[in-house]
Structure 1
Amino acid sequence: MVQFDSQDPYEVIHRFKPIAEVPELTRETYVPRASTPLLDAMGHGITDLESGLSQLAEADRPARVVMVVVTDGQENASREFCKEQVEKMIKEKTEKDGWQFVFLSADLAAIRDAKAVGVAPVASLLYQKSGLGSKLAWASLAMRLSDYRSARLHSLMFLEEDRQHPDDPNKKKKNNKS
């Protein structure tokens, strides 16, 4: 788990820790600060995860890798990675290694940023900027991760029922013909 912002563009909070040992995220333990170096965080995240996995014994490496990006804003502060680099990295890890990339944001422009770097629209979720919106997004992510890990879904994707935000660009619009 990594926190990223312009104060610390890549702050590792937990590395390869069992989820049961990770404390609950609170306003004290995980605080959005300053600007959003989204591309830098994604680029460093991919290379860091790739390096960490390569150091594990073959038997200890996970069969499925999912990188989840959660942001409260769009890219506006990266200095090391550009869109094309991150897009190439995501494409390579998806096609060659079967990694799944998921994107959660309360910012519609950030959802567009995710699509621009190759995150599949079905794996992006826009949620409302509220406690309830965050709670629903995390609950949807937990359900879809469970579906993916148990092979009920062949790839990690959000379903229509997950798309609670009225402005979610991936939400199917109902045809209101009378």
Structure 2
Amino acid sequence: MPDIIFLLDESASMTPHVKSYINGVNTLLTTQKQANPNSKFTMIKFSSEIKTLCVDTKMHTLPEFTSEFYKPNGITALYDAIGHAIKLKHTNRVTNSVIIILTDGEDNHSKNYTLETIAQQIMYMQRRGWVFVYIAANQNAQMIGEKLGIGTCLTYNETEKSIADVAHACSIAIGHAIYNWSGIPNQFCEEKMPTDVRDLIEEMENISI
């Protein structure tokens, strides 16, 4: 079973959509409890600080994700969060890991890592078989992901529907990784990984005429 590492932006800009993000995380956890109950799950939140919520917890034992665990504040130390996750898991010589990064903004606060140093670390871990997924709002996720050296990228916007689609896309990405490692089919391996799940109705409503 793979290790699943989930990096969740907890900066202040996430505040208006807390409920949708909590629902999205719970959708992902519920799905993975059924699909990969014995996988180990690590969750790291990032804002001005990096907070590790759980490490190597068996998926089927995870509690519901509630507002008690998610209180957005501060700004975005994205690169430091990725570096922390790699260091945490690489120390344990973990292989077959999926790192999912979800953010609504670009890095503006990292002190220990830069775009260049993180891109180098990502490339090194990819050579060891790790899979990285970059999911972002308010930016072109493909463009930023390319700078990081991440090929699997998804752009979304902060509507309830779009965030729900993100949760499903996370399970697709995990399913693809497991199939590539094991060769054993699963319920997600034949679904195409989306690159854009923005809610077009929301986009049209925001257009000024």
Same fold (TM > 0.5): yes
TM-score band (shorter)? 0.7 to 0.9
Structure 1 residues 160 and 147: alpha-carbon distance in aligned structure 2, compared to 1, 3 A threshold: closer
Select 2:119's aligned residue among 83, 87, 107: 87
Select 1:127's aligned residue among 143, 156, 174: 156
What SS is found at the alignment partner of 1:103? strand
Structure 1 residue 118 displacement after superposition: 0.9
Structure 1 residues 76 and 146: alpha-carbon distance in aligned structure 2, compared to 1, 3 A threshold: same
Matched, 1:43 2:83: yes
Select 1:69's aligned residue among 98, 101, 117: 101
Matched, 1:23 2:63: yes
8 Å CA contact 2:102, 2:136 repeated in 1: yes
Looking at structure 1, the residues matched to 142 and 63 of structure 2 have their Cα atoms a distance apart, in angstroms, of 27
Q: TM-score, normalised by structure 2?
A: 0.64
Select 2:196's aligned residue among 163, 173, 178: 163
What SS is found at the alignment partner of 1:15? strand
Number of aligned positions between the proteins: 151
Q: TM-score, normalised by structure 1?
A: 0.74
What SS is found at the alignment partner of 1:134? helix
Structure number with the higher helix fraction is 2
Structure number with the higher strand fraction is 2
Select 1:2's aligned residue among 44, 63, 73: 44
- Which runs of 5 or more residues in structure 1 are unaligned? 55-60, 168-178
Matched, 1:138 2:170: no
Structure 1 residue 133 displacement after superposition: 1.1
Looking at structure 1, the residues matched to 141 and 108 of structure 2 have their Cα atoms a distance apart, in angstroms, of 10
What SS is found at the alignment partner of 2:149? coil
8 Å CA contact 1:73, 1:110 repeated in 2: no
Opposite residue 67 of structure 1, the aligned amino acid is I
CA RMSD between the two structures: 2.5
Structure 1 residues 111 and 34: alpha-carbon distance in aligned structure 2, compared to 1, 3 A threshold: farther
Structure 1 residues 85 and 161: alpha-carbon distance in aligned structure 2, compared to 1, 3 A threshold: closer
Opposite residue 66 of structure 1, the aligned amino acid is V
What SS is found at the alignment partner of 1:147? helix
Matched, 1:148 2:177: yes
Opposite residue 80 of structure 2, the aligned amino acid is D
Structure 1 residue 114 displacement after superposition: 2.7
- Which runs of 5 or more residues in structure 2 are unaligned? 1-42, 201-209
Opposite residue 165 of structure 1, the aligned amino acid is R
What SS is found at the alignment partner of 1:108? coil
Looking at structure 2, the residues matched to 110 and 30 of structure 1 have their Cα atoms a distance apart, in angstroms, of 23
Structure 1 residue 24 displacement after superposition: 3.2
